[in-house]
Structures are given as C-alpha cells and as structure tokens.
Amino acid sequence: MRILIAHDAAAGAGGVESYLAALMPALQARGHQLAFVCDGPRSQQGPVRLDYVPTVASITDMGFLRGMEYIRAWQPDACFSHNMRRLAIDESLTSLCPVVKMMHGYFGTCIGGQKAHAFPAVQPCAREFGVACLGMYLPRHCGQLRPASMVSQFAWALRQQRLFGRYAHIVVASAHMACEYARHGVAAERLTSVPLFPTVAPDGSPRGAPSGPTVLFLGRMTSLKGGDVLIRALAHTIRLLRTPVRVLFAGSGPAESSWRALAVQLGVPATFHGWVEGPDRLAILRSASLLAVPSLWPEPFGLVGLEAAAQGVPAVAFDTGGIGEWLQDGVNGRLVRETGSATALGRTLADVLTESGELARLGEGALRVASGLTLAAHLDVVERVIAGAAVASPVLA
C-alpha cells in the first residue's frame, strides 16, 4: 500500500514521535511505500526525526494548497493520521483518501484535552463532552483560566468531534479509550483498540542491581503527572523503611521547580536529570529498582511503564485510565487504587522495596508482559485496519 503518515511535527521528543519512529520503518520493511505530511517546518528540531522518507510535505514550508496538491499527486491508498492541531489538514486529507486516525489523547472528548479537573485537587473527569462543560471549565480548573482560551478550546474540540464521522476508522491504545470514543458516538465497527509496545528495546545485557532503593519518574513534569504526590509518598516510604530511598526525575516541565523545592523541604533525596533520550534513557531505566507512575489524570495508556518493563523494571502506579491494561497487580508491579493518596502510594512503595525477592519476581513478570506486547503484534492490527479502510474507500480520482 501507499500509506501517508500525518503528524503535527517533523521532529520531537514526545511519545508519539517515538512511536512513529518505530512504526514507520516497520511498515516499510513490510513492503509499504510511505509519505509524510506535517504541519510544522522541516527545520523543526528534536531528537527524533520523522521526515526521512522520500516524499515529505510540510504545510508551513509549502503552503496549504500546494502541500495538499503535492499529497494528492502522490496518490495515497490511505492516511494514518496522528496528532494534528490544525484540523483543516485532517479535513482536507479525508477528501483525498481514507483516513485512519490514531487518538493519542482525549481529542474531541474534552475541552482541555486532559479529562481531569485541577480544583480543588487533580482528579479524573467522567463527564461526556458537550456545551455543559463550559459551565465547569473555569470553576473546576479544566485548563487555562482564561475565558478566551476556554472558548477557543471548546470550538477546537467540537470541530475535532465533528470529524469523527469522516474518519474511515479510529484507533486507540486501550479499552479505556475505546469506551471514551464509543460514548462520544464512534461506532464499534469503526473503532479499534490495540496496545502499544516498548519503544526502548533492551540491549540484551543483564541488568545490575541498583546500589540502593531507587525510584524513577520519567515524563513531563506537570501537576497531572503527580510528581508532588510521589515526593510526599517517598517521605512516607523513608519513614516506614528507616532507610534512604533515592528518586530520579527524568523529564522537565512547569512543575519542576516546585517539585525540587518540595523534595528539599521533605528531605527526599531527589536527582533531576532533565530530558533523557537514546542510550541515556536506556541507562536511567536500567538503574532503577522500580518505576513510579503517580499520574492523577486518566492516562490513555502509559507507555513509559512498558519501556521500563522491557528492561525488567516493575512499576507502581495509581489505577487511572488505561494503566491497568498493562500493569497487572502483583504480576509486573502494583496498582494503587486510592488515586492521589500519598500515604497509600508510599506504603505500596515500601512494601515492594522491602523485599528484594519481591522486586525480582515483579521484574520477571515485567519482562513477560513486555515480551507479549510487541511492535509486530501491534503492526499486524494497524496494517489490517489501514488495508480495510483502503479497500472500503478507495482513492478518490
């Protein structure tokens, strides 16, 4: 097939870029021809580049009409579209070829896109998206506290939702997300859930034991990710164990300075590494006793947990969103049901870190779970969905 890959950016450091960087060569290895269209300029910088295929259209560089004509002339059998802030691009693509859309977040089902309230505390939101959400947005801190932002975000989400019917198919990474899109009108026959796969592969060498109890947080540092709750939890863990427990923070974001200050205030030994990629990301994953995923919002999947699992590192996480679909309690880690409770998280961390035998058992379980969620298995489903869309809605002349 001739498959067009669509994404906001030609380069980046996010999970979607890592996903596509693994997926695109695998599609080519199966004999498919690829083209790539992005909204941003090809000069955009980032550790992961996606514009390596022969045919690339940057809407910013080429202009909207010329970029669309360039893609039309390439004659794709189908498009596999990902994050696309400028919805006019997806709208135009649906008139050029069948579009299979992968929803990596709550796009078109939430004004702020995070499916969580921030006031009085961060907690998941179970509301169905609609006009009534406008009345909750500012009081419950569902996003930026500006009426103009609320209105523009609502208009964008509504426009994205109206595109649901124009996509040939929608793909999500968890049954949790499938339920979310089903209740917003996407029919079951046009909706597929397929688990993700570890994007950081093991190097085959045995992992040495950490020098002491070490907990890793890996991701963007925002209030939704719960880093402050993790620091409070670790202060409780240290009191229970009466021994130091290191925490490594890999990532960055607006909450970093407050998390640093909180760690100092509570006496939690914390090291902040900034963003890590490539060999550095692999090394920091392998250096941890376990991974903490203290997310307070409903994670669509939680790919970082699989990255750690592929290195034999178990996870401890709040049971939110799609996390429970890869984290099997007592098998490859521990699920904490009391989302947002630093005490419950700290107690669970202490339970796991106390026994080296338990850590080893959960690490073995992590490897087993990760080995069952492979790129090949993911690609089998995605390839079938794209082929089905191309057959059902052939290229427009």
Place of tokens 């794709």: 76
Query: Which pLDDT score is estimated for 396?
Result: 46
Among left, alpha and beta (phi > 0; psi -120 to 50; other), residue 48 is beta
CA contacts within 13 A on the Cβ side of 316: 27
Query: Which pLDDT score is estimated for 394?
Result: 58
Per-block mean pLDDT, blocks of 10 residues, the chain (397 long): 97 88 96 97 90 95 96 97 97 96 96 88 89 89 87 96 97 97 96 93 67 91 95 97 94 95 97 89 93 96 94 96 95 96 97 90 95 95 96 62
Q: Which of 282, 306, 305 is nearest to 207 (CA)?
A: 282
| DSSP secondary structure letter of residue 208 | P
Among the residues of the chain, which ranges form H helices? 15-29, 59-62, 64-74, 87-96, 134-137, 147-162, 175-182, 227-241, 256-266, 278-286, 303-309, 342-354, 356-372, 375-392
Query: Which pLDDT score is estimated for 356?
Result: 78
Query: Which pLDDT score is estimated for 397?
Result: 40
- Ranges in the chain annotated CATH 3.40.50.2000: 2-108+164-197+375-392, 214-372
Query: Which pLDDT score is estimated for 21?
Result: 94
What pLDDT digit, counting tens, does each position of 149-180 carry? Answer: 999 999 999 999 999 999 999 999 999 999 99
What pLDDT digit, counting tens, does each position of 50-78 carry? Answer: 999 999 999 999 999 999 999 999 999 99
Separation of alpha carbons 277 and 281, rounded Å: 5
Q: What is the per-residue burial (b if ≥16 Cβ within 10 Å, else e) of 298-310?
A: bbbbbbbbbbbbb
CATH of domain 214-372: 3.40.50.2000
CATH of domain 2-108+164-197+375-392: 3.40.50.2000
Q: Which of 319, 286, 124 is nearest to 208 (CA)?
A: 286
Distances (CA, A) of 171 to 19, 74, 181: 14, 24, 10
- Omega before 120 within 30 of 0, i.e. cis: yes
Query: How many other CB atoms are found less than 10 A from the CB of residue 232?
Result: 21
Separation of alpha carbons 183 and 23, rounded Å: 29
